Every structure is written in structure tokens, then in C-alpha cells.
Chains A and B, each alone.
Chain A
Amino acid sequence: MNAFEWVNATTVDEAIGQLGAASLLKAGGVDVLDRLKEGLDAPPRLVNIRTVKGLDRIEGDAATGLRIGPLVTLAALDVHPVVRKSFVALADAAGHAATPQIRNMATAGGNLLQRPRCWYFRSRDFHCLKKGGDTCFSQHGENQYHAIFGNEICAIVHPSALGTALVALGGSVELASSRGKRIVLAEQFFLPPAAALERENGLAEDELLTAIVVPPLGASARSAYTKVGEKESFDWPIAEVAAVVERSGANVSRASIVLGAAAPVPHRATAAEKLLAGKPLTRETARAAARAAIEGATPLSENRYKVTLFENVVRRTLLDAGGVR
């Protein structure tokens, strides 16, 4: 780890004033510390935003939607009564990430903006495409945890459980800089390798994420989230799915199905969503939708199992969201 200067920001403006090429923002620091220790980042200055007041609130309700401060911890999201009751996918995504200790430290903003966990990217031994090198080592290497969609350039998987849930919920992020504020739909915020190889989202160097915005769900809509890991303690998903099912009468009026740990960005299963629209949610339609969700997968040498796995997890999550047992 390099020696660096430490700055405690106390206001949003102060934090923004510190941003730039020489600074790295630190919220919970879970991801930042790992990167510093491996030498992936060697910033002259760390700007601690944990000391900024007022960014750790969850506001709103089922009817208005939510505004979540970036410093809200995963642990707090997990147990917040409104989130638990009306935005189940978000609560479960937060509550199943990592470990209790990490969830107590990890912030919602940091979770969305964490760098991918690809072991080639994370190791100083590999100068990969993402780090300005000329090889994606996973393509013909140890790729059992890598992407099965959108993996032709770089096969990282999107790491944030909240990101996956947020895209399913149609949420957005609020970004602030000295130039002002902008709100970007989560689905557009996360960028695939073809659009941005050395970063994973549209956050500019001088921007601070100031809020996560979740629109209200229709009265007949329900959400669900499933994580499958090789183990439950201290581990990442090998598959995760967030889904929202909205009904009109007996039929699904709108479904939103998003796969995490599947592609470099939260992967929207549009074909599956279309297939369900206008149909009742049954074991059969869920099965058909799950099959549609994995259509077009391009597994690598060691991750073919993920295709079967995702098919099963999509089906289970849909049935869960639809209350079908």
C-alpha cells in the first residue's frame, strides 16, 4: 500500500471540492482497502465521506418511492421496515451480500460503485485489459465465475447486489458535481466493456453519488431477489436474480427480470420479460420465461453450469415474486 493523505470531508460541497485525479473517495472502505492493499489503486489522497452528515438516511415510503442516502449501510437497508415490506428485492439483496461484519461497514453507494471481483483484475500478477493491458485472461483461463453474457471483450461479472436489484426496480442514481446535479437511470448508469473498458459506470471523476432513487412500485407489484453462492459465509454469488412482477387482474402486466453475476452489467432478461407480459404467472410460464432468460448465453470453457443454474434461479425468483408456491 502506498502512503497517502487522509481528508475527512464534512459536507457534500467539501467532498466535491476534494474530488479529482489525485483523490480516491472512501465510504465504508471495504472495497477501497482491498484495492489499496493489492496496489490496484495508489492515490495520493483518500477523501473520507463517512464524516459527511445527512447522507445516511432512508426517506419515502411505498407510495412515494425511496430516496436512499449513499452512506446508508447494507445492514440498515436490510432491516428498514419500509424497504423490507415494500421493496423486498432491495432488502434481500442488501441482506445477503457478504457477511454481517461487512454489511455493517459497507455503504449502499460504495456497493454500487465497487470495482469487479474478477480474480485477474484483482491480482497484481495480471495486467489485464481493464488495467490498460492487452489481454482478457479469463477468456481462455480460469473462468468458472465469469460472465455468460456480454463476455466477448472482458468477462467480468457485475459485482453489486444492489445494482442488480436497483435495475429491476427501475431505480436511478443522483450524481452531484460542481457543475450541478444529474439523475441517471441505473440501467443506463452501468456501462458494458464495449462502452467503457477501464471503468464500469458513468460516474465522472469529479462526481459524488448523493442519492439512490427508487420509484414507487404499483400496488399490484411485488419484487423478489435470490442469491446462490457456493457457500453462504463470506462469499459472492455464482448467480443472483432480482425480479419485479406487476399484475393486472390474473395476468402479468409487466415483469422485470435482472441477472447479477451473469454479465459485466446487471443483465436484463428482456425476452423473458416479454414472454410473461399478458400471461398468468404459473409454473409453466415461469419455466418458459426462465428458458428465454438464458437464450443467447455464451458460456466460456468453465462456466457452462451457470446457464442451468440461472435458468433455475430465474424460475424460482419469478415464482417467489409472484407468490406461486
Chain B
Amino acid sequence: MQDATKTSRKATFPTGIAGSGMTSVELDIPTSEPPVLPPNEDLSVVGKRTPRLDGRLKVTGAARYTADVRLPNMLHAKVITATVPHARVKSVDISAAEKAPGVRAVHVLERLLGSAVVRDSSKEIASKYPIVRYSGQPIAAIAATSPGAAEDAAKLVKVEYEVLPFVVDADEARKPGAPLVFPAPADMAATAGGGGGGGGLTQAGNVRGPARGGMFGPPRGDVENGFAAAEVIVEGEFRTQVQTHSPLETHGVVADWRSDGLTVYSSTQGTASVRDELAEVFGLPKTQVRVITEFMGGGFGAKFGAGNEGVLATHLSKKAGAPVRLMFDRRTEQLAAGNRPSSHQKLRLGAMKDGTLKAIHLVNFGTAGVGTGAGAGGPAQNMYECPAVLTEEADVFVNAGPAASFRAPGHPQGCFALEQVIDELAERIAVDPLALRDRIDTSESRRLERRLGAERIGWSRRKAPGSDPGPVKRGIGVAQSVWYRFTDMDSACEVRIARDGSVELLSAVQDIGGGIRTALAQVVAEELGLQAADITVRIGDTNFPIGPASGGSVTTNSITPAARNAAHDVKMQLASLVAAELGVEPSGVVMRGGTVAAGAGGKSLTFRQAARRLKTEQIAGLASRSANYSDGKRAFDRYGGVQFVEVAVDTETGVIRVERVVAVHDCGRPINPLAIESQVNGGVLQGISYALYENRQLDRNTGHMVNPNLEQYKILGARETPVIETILIEEYRGRSSTDAGGIGEPATVPTAGAVANAVYNAIGVRLREMPMTPARVLAAMAAARKEGGRA
């Protein structure tokens, strides 16, 4: 038994990469922590490819998403949105709409969420209603007895505008004398997260910032000295477009206001974040707001908080005294529900002839529309070893829908630039791109990932650019990922065992599609010696212990240790009950393969028999996430990831086809490799779609989006899906009771950069602008020919 007066104990953890030299590390951990979990090869459920427990429900349509929720007497809402990109709303006449057949409530927004606000409110344009700053901005909503009645009534709402000058092009917005999106400096609480969004930056015209430095501190070293010392300087100018999140399930809620509290079914990535925002807006105690997310159809970073849709639906429900369903239509989803900011990056890199980096300087102007946080400097700051790094990132306001955090904010755009410039450096100093990275990248994971990926893709087959005969040229490219191991401490689980031997886990955490339900079941099953399918997982309800907001690849890392600790707690309660009967100390009770036994060969009971010994109907363990284990000197942990891409470029049509991707990734201890592969597939596909097709296009003359749908807004489909091979490494560091990490973001960070590098290897022409459409390919080739002709 442990000494009860001690609060910590020494524990020895496996550390390193499985199959590549594992050692161990001794750490001081709280005595309340469960025993060290051995590597996956010694486990029976965790680390095994496990089909999703809810897969059948999803593919048969039985899973209930927010969009599927139907409550008795439920009303249907229609949102009224702005038809101009910039205006002061003079009046909103709802009198005719209120009298329309079937209408039960109308609500006009008093305050707009999801937009920057003028820092000094006295400098905002005086107005009764929120200033319209983008076409499609929500203004009001109507609840009626049918969707048709709501839509018909919406046409009767008369909005009178005092139209103001607008600007939608970021280059135009930077010019002196451009129409001002905000009359004075503006800040935003929840930025798009790419950097540069912080409060209090200076603002001149529509340009806010630049912010210098990044997440881990101020600029490093002195770039001027670095460039002066450098033997080689490479630089490039890169542009990336605005990408919309385009989840299959749009933003939306079903809000049910009752005298005893508010219940909201929400398509959200953070049940608690919706609860908190609604509690604040409606002045309710958090305990009287219940948020339920049984299943959700994608968010990619845009679904935190209640949003305008949640606030509108709740007002309507309160007014009408009935539940209200408000799902954005696809058009509003495209216009007003978030996007990945654009970037315009000038990246300069100084190095020695052996590749050693001396200086990195990034200047970026990105637009997050009426939001902030369009930075792209993460990769430049954090990927490679370099003594001098300066990133200067400015937000450019334009009259367009606000950006929101989007799967690795700033990083896909940052890698598109950085990884191309690194390849250019390799070419300049005549070193293989992988060999150069071996020299300048200190990440142990990525070193191994490069080697494994190069073998799998057949890097040695790689030819000189343009060497294929015929119009179709093939090429292979590589790019790397960097992401950070964030932990959300608001992560708790309760695990219950009932006297019939059934086991249940409860947590408010939501499954945004990554498969956390199954991962939680695996962790609990492993602890109790059961199978994943034996565990009933109830999640996505704020009535349960709090769960993390699923963003930044935090979910598995944050919640699985809480699940394991709760399971361990309840396991020890059960062990104590049967220890005497088994003739061992509780700590000597082993649960494995459905049995509860006194070690190998000793007395044993089945799990059910053991549960029957409970003195009460149920026992339960509750655990919150404990702090990451540390030896006091650990640096902030990062994820690696390296992707290899093979493309075919038709030089006569300009069409790029991605034929094959090898994605090599790490995410700490993999809990469910099958689900991780799915995440990698999704990240790669979203990355290719971003690289080649997607583009929110605003009409330069009117400010309206010309493709607010899923037809003209082009997303990769089945015919554009390459062969994707995932190689997953197991990386152990003893960071928590599960040592698990995340994969959602790392999987999409390098893809666009890798596609660009592969295109260069195919045709010998660099594409520095996304999406890499046939128009751009043909133009870049024509420009290269012209330059070649002159030279």
C-alpha cells in the first residue's frame, strides 16, 4: 500500500517510438493517478483497430443529429439576412410578417455575435441595430408553424438600409482611402486563431497590426543579422484563398425555453461553450441551461458557442412558448458561419550553403472578413531550428463574413509557403529536400516519419521536373506538419458499474466525428478487462460531467485520462469488495478478459459475478483531467507528421490530379488506429480540396458571394480521391494516464504544401497561389516559358 501521507509517487513510463528504440523515464506523479499503462502491444483493447460503436446507427440513419430533432409543437425558423455588404439599418419593419399565417414569433438581433467590435464604442456608427458589415449578415428571424410559412413571412420583413461604401478585396482594402469596414480600431474575442488576432493592436485604416511573434513568445533573434550572415537567400510571395468549413450539417439548434430552464439541441463542438454563451446572453445560471449534442455533422472549428443562430432561436422560443428549430440554410452557412482566412505571405529565408537556417522573415496580410486572427506564422515560427525568426502578421478587414478557427488555424496556409521555400532552398544548394529537412529539423518523430514515408512512396523513383514524355507529367512532393499538444482541463468523466455488471460512461464531451465515443469505451474496457462494446457511452449532454471543447486536436488527449482515472477509481471500488473473497489485497485483483481474478492462475470470478457482490445498486467513479505529468523541464509538446504526394499534371489542360498520398503521423499513444486513419483520410481530402478547388468567391463589384452553395463552391468528390496510405507511429512520453494525443489538425496541415511541391516536381513550375486551378497552372506555365524565352 502507498503511504497515505504522500501526495506523489515515482512511476516509470515507457518513452520513445515503438519499434524504434523504446526507453523509460521516471516521473513524479500524484498518488491518485492509476498505474502506468504499458505500450499498446501489451494491451488488449486500447490501440486495437475498433470499428465505431455508433457506425451502424450513422449509416442506417438512426443516429439523431441536431437537424433530425423534432419536438412536439416545434416551430421552424427562417433567418433574415442582409442583402448589402455595408449599411446602417434604418428600420426593420416586421408588422406584416408578424401577421402572416402560421407566424408565432419574430426577433430582431440587438447584438451581433462573431464579428469584431469597435474598441471604443463611442466611435462606432450610431445605430439602433447592428451595423451591417457583410452581405448575408443575420438581422432577424421568424418562427412559424412550418418551414414554408416561415419562408413566406420572411419575405414580408422590410429592412431599410442607409448604404455605406464597402470593400471586399483585401488588396483594395489596404490602399489609403479605401472604404472603412470599421470606423475605428476593432477587436474580436474569439478570433480565427491563426495569429495576429490579439486585442489592442494598432489599426490604420482597415489594416490591424501587424502582430510580431507568436504563441510561444516574441520574435527570436535578429533577422537582419541572420540575413547578413546567410550565404543563400530564398524568398517567395504566396497567396491563399478563403475556404469555408462546409460541414455537411449546417450550424443550427433546436431551442426549447421553459419556465424551469432552457434546453438546446445544438450542432456544436463544445456543449459547454453553447451553455455558457446562452447563460450569459439570457442571464440564466449555467445550471439552468442544458445543451445536448447526440451526434453532429462536422464543424472543423466553426462551431463553438451559441452563435447568432442559437441566440435567435432561443429568443424565438422564449417569445413563442414553443421549441424552435433553426438550421442555417447552405447559403447562410457559406456567408455567415465562418471560414479559413486568406493569406498574402512574403516569406524570406536565409541559410548557409549546408542548409543551416540563419533567418526566417514572414510578412503576412490575411483577411478574416469582419473578424481577426488571419495569421499564418505558426509553421515559420515552430517547424525548423532557426536562431532568428520574425513573423509580422496583419489582419485586413473587408466587408465579408467573419473567419472562425478552421482545422489548424493558420497552418495549412503557412505550410503552403514555408514548405515550398524550404524545397527551393534545397534546390538552390543542390540537396535532396528530405536530406535538407534531416539537417534542419530536430523533431525525432518527423525524422522517422520522413524515412518511413520515403520508403513507402518510393522517393528514389523521383525524377527531375518535366522529365516525363507526353503532355501528362508526374511528380512527387513532400511537406511537413507541426501542431501543438493543447490540453483542455475542463474534461471529466463518470464511470458507473451497475449490479448487473453493465458499465456506463457519462461525459458532456461531444463527438464531432473523430470517434471519441469509441475511444472512451476502449479506455474504460481496457481498465475493467472488458470489450469496448460492453461499455455504454453517454456523451454530448451538459447534464453529465463537463467535457472539453473539441478544437485544436484536444479531445482525446484531454478526456481519455479522465475516463481512465474514473474507470480506475470504480475498478478499485469493485476490487475492494471482492478482494477478501479472492484472497488478495485489492491492488492484487486483476481484471482481464471479462474476469476478476487474484492474479494469473488464482481464484477468479466473472465480471458479472463480481458486480453482483455490490452492496448498493451502483458504484461510480468520477474524475477530472489531472495536470499533464511533468519533470518540471518539459517543453510544450508538439505533433509531427509528414505527407508525401504524387500528382499527375496535364500540361495542356492545366488539370492537376492527386493520385496517391502517403501520410505518416504521430499522435502520442494511438487509442483507435482505425478512427485515426479516418481522421487522416479526412485531413488529406480536405487539404487536397483546399489546394485545388475550394474558393469563396466574392463579386468585386457588389460584394456578394457568387458561389454560396456546394455546386459552384467546389469541393473534392469521389473521382478526385487518391489512394491514401497512412502510417501511424506510436510515440510514448508518459504525459498522462493514457499518453494519448490528437490528430485532427496535423492531418491537414501539410497537404496543400505537399501538393504544390509535387506539382513543381512534375512540371518544374512553382505555383504560389491557391487554389491551384487549371487557369493558374496554364498561366504559370506560360509565364515560365516567357521568362525562359527572355533568359
A binding-site residues for B, Cβ under 8 Å? 1, 3, 99, 117, 119-120, 122-123, 125-126, 137, 140-142, 144, 228, 230-235, 238-239, 302-305, 308-309, 312-313, 316
- Whether the Cβ atoms of A302 and B775 lie closer than 8 Å is yes
User: Are A233 and B706 also in contact (CB < 8 A) when A1-B151, A125-B83 are?
Assistant: no
B697 near A125 with CB under 8 A, answer no
Determine the chain A residues whose CB is within 8 A of the CB of B151 once the complex forms: 1
Within the complex, the shortest CB–CB distance from B322 to chain A, in Å, comes to 23
Question: Which of these, B699, B711, B714, B716, contacts A141 with CB under 8 Å?
Answer: B699
Interface membership of chain B positions 687-727, coded 1 if the CB is closer than 8 angstroms to chain A and 0 otherwise: 00000110001011110101110011010111110000000
B465 at the interface (CB under 8 A from A): no
B720→A231 contact, CB < 8 A: yes
Interface assignment of B550: CB less than 8 Å from any CB of chain A: no
CB contact under 8 A between A125 and B652, given known A230-B693, A233-B716, A308-B782: no
Q: Is the CB of A234 within 8 A of B717?
A: yes
- Rounded to whole angstroms, the CA-CA distance of A28 and B781 in the bound complex is 42
Q: Are A126 and B702 in contact (CB-based, < 8 A)?
A: yes
> In the complex, which of the residues A123, A231, A232, A305 contacts B778, with contact meaning CB atoms closer than 8 Å?
A305
Neighbouring B residues of A239 by C-beta, 8 Å = 653
Closest chain-A Cβ to B558's Cβ sits at a distance in Å of 36
Given contacts A119-B706, A137-B702, contact A309 B653 (CB under 8 A): yes
Instruction: Identify 16 residue pairs between A and B in the complex whose beta-carbon atoms are under 8 Å apart, listed by A's number.
Output: A1-B151, A99-B717, A119-B706, A125-B702, A126-B699, A141-B702, A144-B773, A231-B714, A231-B719, A232-B717, A232-B719, A305-B654, A305-B775, A305-B778, A305-B779, A309-B778
- Chain A residue with Cβ nearest B721: A233
Q: Is B221 an interface residue (CB 8 A)?
A: no
Is B513 close to A, CB under 8 A? Answer: no
Nearest residue in A to B712 (C-beta to C-beta)?
A119
Return chain A residues, CB-CB under 8 Å to B716: 231, 233
B774 touches A230 (CB 8 A): yes
Given contacts A230-B714, A233-B717, A309-B774, 5 further A-B contacts (CB under 8 A): A142-B699, A144-B773, A231-B692, A231-B714, A239-B653
Would B704 and A3 count as touching, CB distance under 8 A? Answer: no
In the assembled complex, the Cα of A216 lies from the Cα of B180 at a distance in Å of: 64
Expressed in whole angstroms, the minimum distance between the Cβ of A38 and any Cβ of chain B is 9
Using A230-B773, A302-B775 as known contacts, say yes or no to A137 and B654 having CB atoms under 8 A apart: no
Chain B nearest CB from A181 CB (Å) reads: 36
In residues 78-98 of chain B, which contact A (Cβ within 8 Å)?
Answer: 83
Of all A-B residue pairs in the complex, the 3 with the closest CB atoms, nearest first, are: A233-B717, A232-B719, A312-B652
Whether B655 is near chain A, meaning CB under 8 Å from some CB there, is yes
- CB–CB B700/A142 < 8 A: yes
Which residues of B lie under 8 Å from residue A303 when comparing CB positions?
Answer: 775
Tell me whether B135 is interfacial, beta carbon within 8 Å: yes
B81 CB → nearest A CB, Å: 11
User: What residues on B are CB-neighbors of A125 within 8 Å?
Assistant: 83, 135, 702, 704
Query: Any chain A CB within 8 A of the CB of B200?
Result: no
Q: How many residues of B contact A (CB 8 A)?
A: 34
Q: How far does the Cβ of B101 sit from chain A's closest Cβ, in whole Å?
A: 11
Bound complex: CA of A142 vs CA of B704, how far in Å? 11
Nearest chain-A residue to B779 (Cβ)? A305
User: What 0/1 pattern do residues 771 to 791 of B give for CB contact below 8 A with A?
Assistant: 001110011001000000000
Known contacts A125-B704, A305-B778, A309-B654: does B719 contact A3 (CB below 8 Å)?
no
Say yes or no: B148 contacts A137, CB within 8 Å: no
Tell me the B residues contacting A by CB distance below 8 Å. Answer: 83, 135, 148, 151, 471, 652-655, 692-693, 697, 699-702, 704, 706-708, 711-712, 714, 716-720, 773-775, 778-779, 782
- How far does the alpha carbon of A99 sit from the alpha carbon of B711 in the complex, in Å? 12
**Cross-chain contact A137 with B699 (CB below 8 angstroms):** yes
B778 surroundings in chain A (CB, below 8 A): 305, 308-309
Pairwise interchain contact A119-B717, C-beta atoms closer than 8 A: no
B719 touches A142 (CB 8 A): no
From B653, B717, B718, B719, give the contact of A312 (CB < 8 A).
B653
Instruction: Assess the B700–A235 pair: CB atoms within 8 A.
Output: no
B706–A228 touching, CB < 8 Å:
no
Q: State whether B704 touches A228 (Cβ < 8 A).
A: no
User: Which residues from chain B contact A304 at a C-beta distance below 8 Å?
Assistant: 779
**Could you tell me if A126 and B714 are in contact, using CB atoms closer than 8 angstroms?**
no
Q: How far is the CB of B696 from chain A (nearest CB, A)?
A: 11
A232 vs B717: C-alpha distance when bound (angstroms): 8
In angstroms, Cα B707 to Cα A123, docked, is 8
Which residues of the partner chain B approach A316 to less than 8 Å between Cβ atoms?
Answer: 652
Closest to A232 in B: B719
Chain A min CB distance to B312 (Å): 22
User: Measured between alpha carbons, how far is A1 from B707 in the docked complex, in Å?
Assistant: 19
Min distance, Cβ A237 to any Cβ of chain B, angstroms:
11
Given the complex of chains A and B, what is the CA–CA distance between A122 and B704 in angstroms?
13
A304 to chain B, nearest CB (A): 8
Q: How many angstroms from the CA of A47 to the CA of B181 in the assembled complex?
A: 48
Alpha-carbon distance between A205 and B693 when the two chains are bound, in angstroms: 39
A63 CB to closest chain B CB (Å) equals 36
What are the residues of chain A within 8 A of B706 when measuring CB–CB? 119-120, 123, 141-142
- Which residues of A lie under 8 Å from residue B707 when comparing CB positions? 119
**In the complex, residue of chain A having the shortest beta-carbon distance to the beta carbon of B720:** A231
When distances are taken between beta carbons in the complex, the residues of chain B under 8 Å from A144 are 773, 775
Which of A117, A235, A313 has the largest count of B CB atoms less than 10 A from its CB? A235
* B-side contacts of A1, CB under 8 Å: 148, 151
Query: In chain A, what residue has the closest Cβ to B707?
Result: A119
User: A120, A125, A126, A309 — which one has the most chain B CB atoms within 10 A of its CB?
Assistant: A125
A231 lies within 8 A of B702 (CB): no
- Contacts of B718 on A, CB cut-off 8 Å? 233
Nearest Cβ on chain A to B739's Cβ, whole angstroms: 40
Residues of B within 8 A of A228 (CB): 653, 655, 774
In the assembled complex, which residues on chain B have CB atoms less than 8 Å from the CB atom of A230?
655, 692-693, 714, 773-774
A312 to B654, CA, bound (A): 10
CB neighbours (8 Å) of B719 from chain A are: 231-233
Complex formed: what's the CA distance from A117 to B655 in Å? 21
B700 touches A232 (CB 8 A): no
Bound-state Cα–Cα, A323 to B485, Å: 59
Closest chain A residue, CB of each to CB of B689:
A231
Shortest B657–chain A CB gap in Å is 9
Shortest Cβ distance from A229 into B: residue = B655
Q: How far is the CB of B537 from chain A (nearest CB, A)?
A: 35
Q: Shortest distance in angstroms between B145's beta carbon and chain A's nearest beta carbon?
A: 14
Shortest Cβ gap from B362 to chain A (Å): 29
Report yes or no: A233 in contact with B779, Cβ–Cβ below 8 A: no
Indicate if the CB atoms of A142 and B697 lie closer than 8 Å: yes
Q: Verify B700–A231 contact, CB threshold 8 A.
A: no
Docked CA distance A3–B701 (Å): 34
With A231-B693, A233-B719, A234-B717 already in contact, the answer to whether A141 and B148 are too (CB < 8 A) is no
Residues of B contacting A117 in the complex (Cβ-Cβ under 8 angstroms): 712
Residue from A228, A302, A316 with most neighbouring chain B CB atoms (10 Å)? A228
Contact of B704 among A123, A233, A308, A312 (CB under 8 A): A123
Tell me which residues across on chain A come within 8 A of B699, comparing CB atoms.
Answer: 120, 126, 137, 141-142
Identity of the chain A residue whose Cβ is nearest the Cβ of B781 in the assembled complex:
A308
Contact of A232 among B148, B697, B712, B720 (CB under 8 A): B720
Of chain A, the residue at the smallest CB distance from B708 is A123
Q: Which residues of B contact A232 (CB under 8 A)?
A: 717, 719-720
> How far apart are the CA atoms of A141 and B705 in the complex, in Å?
12
A126 with B704: CB separation less than 8 A: yes
CB distance from A173 to the nearest CB of B (A): 27
Taken together as a complex, chains A and B put the C-alpha atoms of A36 and B716 apart, in Å, by: 26
Contacts of A312 in B (CB 8 A): 471, 652-653
Smallest beta-carbon distance A262→chain B, Å: 14
Residues of A within 8 A of B700 (CB): 141-142
Instruction: Name the distance in Å between B676's Cβ and chain A's nearest Cβ.
Output: 26
A313 near B712: Cβ-Cβ < 8 Å = no
Give A268 to B148 CA distance when docked, in angstroms: 45
Q: A309-B653, A313-B653 are in contact. Are A3 and B779 (CB under 8 A)?
A: no
Provide the bound-state CA to CA distance between A123 and B702, in Å.
Answer: 13
Given A231-B717, A233-B716; A3-B652 close (CB under 8 Å): no
